[in-house]
Amino acid sequence: MNVTALAIVPPSTAEDCPKVTPELLASSLAKYSRSNQGIGQILEGIDWSDSDGAVDRIFKFIDYGHASIGGLTGGIAIAVDDCSMFLAYKIFEIAQLVDGQESSTRYITMAPESLATAEELGIPEHLRDEWQSVMNESFAIYQRLYTDLDKKAQENPSALRIPADIPEKVQARMRKNYALDRARYFIPFATKTSAAYVMSARVWAQTLKELEALPLTEAKTAAVKIRDELAKFAPRLIRHSHADEATIAQATHLMYASAKSIKECGVPTDHRPDEVDLVLDSSFPLYLDSQMRIDQNFAGKKNRYSITGSDIRRTFARFSFNNIALAELRDLNRHRSGTRFTPLAPVGFYLPDEIRDQDYGDFFDRYASLVKKLADAGVHYYGYLLGTEVAFEHSTHLDKVIYEIELRTGLGAHYRYAEHLEMVAHELIRQRPELEPFIEIGTAEPE
C-alpha cells in the first residue's frame, strides 16, 4: 500500500493572492470569526517569522470543543494506492463528507496479480492456502466469463441495444462495458484498488480515528500511513486522529455483529429476490409549514443537477435494499449526503441472467466454507466477492433521492444500479403519486 498526499499550488491567475498553509488558513479564519477586522488586517498581524505561533494560539481551542476550526483547513487530497476494495469502501463509508474517486471495474480488467497478499490482510496462516485457492478460482471464473461475454458482444452487438448512429469508439466502449459489468461479480473484495480522497483536516482526523479502531491489520497500516502524510499539512490536528474508547467500541461491535450473523445464518449463495423500503417524512411544524405547491418545487428544473424547492429538500427520506451486491455498493456508498449503513453481513449472491445458469461446480460451497472460517478469525470481509449481497440503507433528503434515481437510471448507467433505483422510484411514486411528472426515470441502456 502506498499513500501520497497531494499539495495544491495556486494557478498563475492567483499569484497575487495571500498564501497560507492549511493550518494557518484555519487559524486565520477562526480569528476572523472573532474579530471585526477584515482578513487583510488579520494576515498583516501575523508574525511571519513565527507563523507556527499564530497557529498554536488558535488551535488550542480545538481541545475545548471547537472542532469546527479543523474544518477550515480546506480540502487535503490524499491518494491510497494498492489498498483492498474493502478498505477503499470502508474509508468512503466512514468519511460521509468526503469527495473522492476509486478505480473502476468498468475500465480496468482485473487479474490474480491484483489481489492483496494474505499477509497484508492479516489472514491467519492456517487459512492462507485455502483463501488463495478460492480467490484464484474466482479470478479464473471472472476471466473466463469476461472472455465469453466479450465475444458475445462482438458477434451480436444488436442484442446490446447499441445505437448504430453513434461513433464506433463509443460502441466499442459499450461492448466492453457489457462484458465487464456482468463478469465483475466474481472479483474478490480483497482485490487491490486505488482511491483518492479530498476532505478537511477535521474530517480526516475523525476518519483516521474510526479507521484505526477497526481490528484489522490493513486498516491500522493505512491509518499510520495516511497520518504520516496528513502531518505534512496539519501537524497539530493529527493528535486528534487516534482511536478512542468510543470509536473502538463501535467498530468492534459492528464487525463482530457481521461475524455473528455468518455463524448463525451461514453464507447464503442464492440470489435473494429484490425488495426495497422507503420511509418519507414531510411533517413540517405549523410555524414552518409547506411553502409551495408540488409543481413549484420543480419550477425551472432541467436535469438532475437543477435545484429543487425547499419542501422537497426538507422532506426526510430513508431508502434501503435487502440485497445489494458489493459491486453496486462500492458506488452507491459514495452518494452524499446523509448516512449510509450496512452491517456488511452476507445475505445472498447476485449473478446476472446471462451467467446465472452456468455450472460452477463446487465453487460456491468452497466460497461459503471459507467465509465462515474467516469469520471465526474476524477477517471475513476479505473472503467476500463483488457478487456478495448485503442489506444497505441510506438516510438523506428527498432531493438527494430524486437526484440518485435520475443519475443511476440515466443513459449509460450500470443496468443493476438502474434496477435498484427504479424500484425506489416506483415506491416513491406509489407513496407520492403527485411526484410522478417531475421524476425522470431512465432506461440505463445502452450501457
What is the number of domains present in the chain?
2
204 and 319 co-located in one domain: no
CA gap 133, 138 in Å, rounded: 9
Distance in angstroms (rounded) separating the CA atoms of residues 389 and 393: 13
- The answer to whether residue 86 is domain-embedded is no
> Band of the pLDDT at 240, cuts 50, 70, 90?
confident
Region 356-367 average pLDDT: 95
What pLDDT is stored for residue 36 in this prediction? 76
Taking only the tens place, the pLDDT of each residue in 132-186 is: 999 999 999 999 999 999 898 888 877 777 777 778 888 787 788 888 899 999 9
**395, 146 in Cβ contact below 8 A?**
no
State phi, psi for 321 to the nearest 5 degrees: -115, 145
Question: Are 345 and 229 contained in the same domain?
Answer: no
Q: Over the stretch 3-59, which tens digit does the pLDDT of each residue have? A: 999 998 889 898 888 888 888 888 787 777 777 778 887 777 777 777 677 677 666
96 assigned to some structural domain: no
Is the same domain home to 312 and 361?
Answer: yes
Question: Which among 211, 243, 275 is the end of a domain?
Answer: 243
188 preceded by a cis bond (ω within 30 of 0): no
Query: Of 202, 218, 243, which marks where a domain is finished?
Result: 243
Query: Looking at the structure, do residues 263 and 239 belong to the same domain, yes or no?
Result: no
Candidates 348, 207, 326, 216; CA nearest to 275 is: 348
Which CATH number do you get for residue 319? 3.30.1360.170
Asked which of 208, 243, 278 is the last residue of a domain, the reply is 243
Q: Which of 115, 118, 153, 107 is nearest to 137 (CA)?
A: 115
User: Considering the domain boundaries, does residue 85 fall inside one?
Assistant: no
d(CA 38, CA 54): 17
- Cα end-to-end span (Å), the chain: 32
Give the pLDDT score at 337: 82
- 115 in any annotated domain: no
Identify whether residues 212 and 268 lie together within a single domain: no
Q: Say whether both 375 and 424 belong to one domain.
A: yes
Residue 420 forms part of a structural domain: yes
Range of the domain at 213: 2-79+192-243
Ranking 40-54, 400-414, 432-446 by mean pLDDT, the lowest is: 40-54
User: Which sign does the torsion angle of CA 105, 395, 208, 201 carry?
Assistant: positive
How far is the C-alpha of 25 from the C-alpha of 421, rounded, in Å?
A: 41
Task: For residue 18, count other CB atoms closer than 10 A to its CB.
Answer: 15
The verdict on 327 and 354 lying in the same domain is: yes
Do 346 and 239 lie in one domain? The reply is: no
Is 59 within the bounds of a domain? yes
| Pair (410, 268) in one structural domain | yes
What is the CATH number for 217? 3.30.1360
Rounded to whole angstroms, the Cα distance separating 171 from 194 reads: 27
Q: What is the DSSP letter of 299?
A: T
- Cα–Cα distance, 243 to 83 (Å, whole number): 20
| Contact yes or no for 411/442 (Cβ under 8 A) | yes
116, 191 contact by CB (below 8 A): yes
**202 and 315 part of one domain:** no
Q: Which residues on neighbouring strands pair with residue 84, listed in sequence order?
A: 192
Q: How many residues does the chain have?
A: 447
* Residue 433: inside a domain: yes
Q: Is 267 in contact with 371 (CB distance < 8 Å)?
A: yes
Residue keyed to cell 461492448: 175
Same domain, 299 and 372: yes
Let me know whether 210 and 278 are in one domain. no
SS3 at position 393: strand
Cell numbers standing for residue 36 = 471585526
Peptide bond between residue 310 and the one before it cis (omega within 30 degrees of 0): no
| Band (64; pLDDT cuts 50, 70, 90) | very low
Give the pLDDT score at 67: 64
Residue 143 belongs to a domain: no
Taking the whole predicted model, whether its pTM rises above 0.85 is answered as: yes
Give pLDDT, residue 66.
55
Is a pLDDT exceeding 70 seen at residue 61?
A: no
